[in-house]
Amino acid sequence: EFTTENVLSSPPRFVSVEELMETAKRVTNMALAHEIMVNQAFQVKPTELPEGSLERKVKEIMHKAFWDCLEAQLKEDPPSYGHAIKLLAEIKETLLSFLLPGHGRQRSRIEEVLDLPLIQQQAENGALDIGRLSQFIVGMMGSLCAPCRDEDVNKLKEITDIVPLLKAIFSVLDLMKVDMANFALSSIRPHLMQQSVEYERNKFQEFLEKQPNALDYTEKWLEDTVKSLKEAEMDGSTAASSDPSSLLPLNVHNQAYLRLLRWDHASDPFPETMLMDQVRFQEMQQEADRLVLLSSVLLIVYTTTGEAISGLPGLMETLKNTISIMLADMHTPSFSAQEALATIGEKLCVELSQCLGQHGYSPFSAERRSILKGQISATIQPDNTVRKLMDSRVQTYLLASLESSQHKTPPLLPGGLSPVSRELKELAVHFSRLVNYNKLVFSPFYQKILQKLLTKGESPGTEM
C-alpha cells in the first residue's frame, strides 16, 4: 500500500551525480532567493578573491598583460587602437545598462559620442581622440552614479594619462554595477514576496521528491511540541494547560517556533524547513539569552536597593551599559560567566554607592554589597528564580508577538523588561518576520503533518 507514512519512512534512493549537481544548484538558488527576502539588509557586494590565492594571482597577471598591451599599442607610431576600441565598446554597453526608461537624452548622447563604426573610422584615419572620449565617459558616469560614488568619479577627473584613466574608469564602473544591482534589488523586493514564496515551496517540493526523508526532523520538531503541550495539559504546570486552544494547529505551530529559541544546536538536528535560517535562529537565541541575563541583573539591583534609586535620571542606562559591556562576549568559547558576573557585581556596587552618595543617601554597607553581589552571581544558574522568571517573560512576549503580528498590534511588555524594551521589540520584529515568511512558504507541508499528529489516536511518541 502506498501511503504518506511509507514514503516518509523509506530509505533515500540512490541518485546520479547529475541529479545531485542539479539538486545542489536548485538549493543554492533557493537559498539566494530566501536571503533576499528575509534579510532586509541584503546587498550585492563586489567580488573579492582571497589574498594570495591562485585565482587572484592569475587574474592580476592577466589584467597586467592586458593593460601593458594597451599601453604598448597606444605608444606605437602611428598608434594602434584595437584594444582601446574593445574597451570603449564595453564601456558603452555598461553605460547603457545604467539607463532607466526616462533617460532618453543620455541614451541619445551615448549613442552619438560612442558611435563605434565612426570611432573605428577615426582610428583608421589617425583622427581618434581617446582623451576626449574618456572625458565624456567620466562626465556621463558622474550624471548616472549614486551620490556615494561622486568622490570616486571626481578623482577620475584628476588622472591625465590615458591608460591609468581607462583602468580607473573600469574600477569605478564595477562599483556602479554593484550600486545598480542593489538599487534594482530594493526596488523589486516588495513585488517579490509572492513569487519568492511559490519559488521556494516548489523547489523544496522538488527536493522532497528526490529525498523522501527530507521532512523527518521537521516532523520530529512538531511531534515533540505536541508531546510537551499534552504533558503540560496533563500536569497543569503551565498557563497553556488551562487553555483549551493550546492544541489547536496554529498554537502548536507558534509554540514549535518558540522551541527553536531554546534549541541544542550541538546535538539536535534542526528542522529541514528551517535550515536556511538556522544561523539566524542561533543569533536570536543568543540575543534572547543576553536580554534575560541583563534584565535579571537589573531587576535584582532595583529590588535589592529599593526606592533610593528608583526614578533617578540616567542611572538605569548607566547600569545597563556597564552590564552590557561585560556580557558582550557571553556566547564566545573564552567567556566565563562566573568571572563576568562577579565583575558586574563589583562595578555595580561602586556605581550605586557613588550615586547614593551624590543624592544624599547612605552608601552601601559591606553587608548590602555582599548580598547584592551574591544575588547577581547566582544568576549563573539556569534554575535561578529571577532568571527563570525573566526567561519566562521574554518567551511569553515573543510568543505574543507571533500571535499579534497578524493583527498588527504590538503585545504588552511584561513587568521587569522595560530596561530592555527597545532590544526586545527589535528581536520580536525579527523573529516574527522570519517565522511568518517561513509559514507562508512551508504551510502546506506543516498542515499535513499537524493534521496527522493532532487527529491520530496514538500518543505522539508512537511510530508514525
Neighbours of 24 (CB within 10 A): 10
Residue type, 263: W
Q: Where are the domains of the chain?
A: 54-187, 215-233+246-456
* Cis preceding linkage at 78, omega within 30: yes
* Contact indicator for 80, 73 with CB cutoff of 8 Å: yes
Instruction: Return the C-alpha cell found at 148.
Output: 556615494
- 239 exposed, middle or buried (CB, 10 Å; 0-12, 13-18, 19+)? exposed
Tell me which of 264 and 126 has the higher pLDDT: 264
pLDDT tens column, 351-368: 888 887 777 777 778 888
- The average confidence (pLDDT) of the chain is 82
| 6 has pLDDT over 60 | no
pLDDT recorded at residue 24: 52
The confidence band for 1, taking pLDDT boundaries of 50, 70 and 90, is: very low
Per-residue pLDDT, 118: 93
Helical pair 385-405 and 249-259, crossing angle rounded to 10 deg: 130
Q: Which three cell numbers stand for residue 172?
A: 569605478
Q: Which residue type occupies 125?
A: N
pLDDT of residue 464: 34
Residue 322: closest CA among 301, 307, 308: 301
Question: pLDDT tens digits for 286-332?
Answer: 999 999 999 999 999 888 877 667 767 778 888 899 999 999 888 88
Q: Which has the closest alpha carbon to 298: 414, 428, 420?
A: 420
User: pLDDT tens digit string along 91-107?
Assistant: 999 999 888 888 889 99
How is residue 356 written as a grid cell?
547614593
pLDDT in tens, 149-205: 999 999 999 988 888 999 999 899 988 888 887 787 777 666 666 777 888 888 888
pLDDT at 242: 45
Cβ atoms of 371 and 402 closer than 8 Å: no
Whole-model pTM: value is 0.65
